[in-house]
Each structure stands twice: as structure tokens, then as C-alpha cells.
Amino acid sequence: MNHHSLRSAPSSAISDMYDAMRDDDTLGGRISRARDACGMTTAQLARRLGIKTATLQSWESDRSEPRANRLATIAGILNVSLTWLIHGIGDAPNDDIHSDVVSLVRGHLEQMKILRDKTSAIIERLESELERL
């Protein structure tokens, strides 16, 4: 067998192929898009990762980057490939309008839960004040 036929394609051809398929967003942008596609808030993802919400927000805004061991966990939770998350190569998460609507509704629901909890606390304080009077 001819050894020349076993050669791979020139590296420039391979890099051109990957450049054509590459998602040019930043790592932080890809984390944010994948989180949105899953319908998760930053607080929910941060909780799953065991980190502060501010840390995740810092990653998503590209002010800092997660350590390598966190990247695999993030990819797993967000159901994306590690290659796409790190390099932007491969399939991006589904960015359809349905995901946007689900994300919006989940965000509103999360805010309503926060307001409900605050309202309950205020009601309890008012009841205590009334009993005291």
C-alpha cells in the first residue's frame, strides 16, 4: 500500500473546515446560550454547579473563565458537547422561539416565587405585630 495515500488532508484544509463550522461566540456567550436553551436561570445553574450566581455571571460575561474540571460539568448539565462549549465546534443547542418563550415564562415564574416568599414574610410580620398590639 502506498504510504502517501494514508496521509491526512493538509492541516490548512482541516482548519478551514473547522473554521466554517465554528460558532464564533465566546465561551461565556456559549454558556449563556446553552443555559437559556435549557430554560435555566443563572441562579438555577449556579446552584447546580455549587457556585455563586455572581461567579456564573462573570463567566457568561467573559470577565473570567471556569476551571477545566468545571467545563465538563457545565457541558453535561446543559446537554451540549464539551467541544462546542470550549471551541464552538459541533452542534449548538436548540435556539428556537419555543426555548425563548419557555425561558421567559420560567424567569417570570421564578420572580413570582420570590415575590410570594417576600409577601409571606410581610404577612407574618404584620400578623405578629397585630397579636402584639
Please name the amino acid found at residue 95.
D
The β-bridge partners of 16 are none
Give CA–CA dist 130/100, Å, rounded: 45
In this prediction, residues 44-54 reach a mean pLDDT of: 95
**Distances 129 to 39, 114, 116, 126 between C-alpha atoms, Å:** 40, 23, 20, 5
pLDDT band at 1 (very low <50, low <70, confident <90, very high): very low
pLDDT top residue among 66 and 18: 66
Q: Indicate whether 5 pLDDT > 50.
A: no
Q: What pTM value is reported for the model?
A: 0.57
Q: Do residues 59 and 71 lie in contact, with contact meaning Cβ atoms separated by under 8 Å? A: no
pLDDT top residue among 10 and 5: 10
Q: What percent of the chain has pLDDT over 70?
A: 78
- DSSP 3-state of 41: coil
Q: Indicate whether 60 pLDDT > 90.
A: yes
Instruction: Please tell me what DSSP assigns to residue 51.
Output: S
**What is the reported pLDDT for 2?**
46
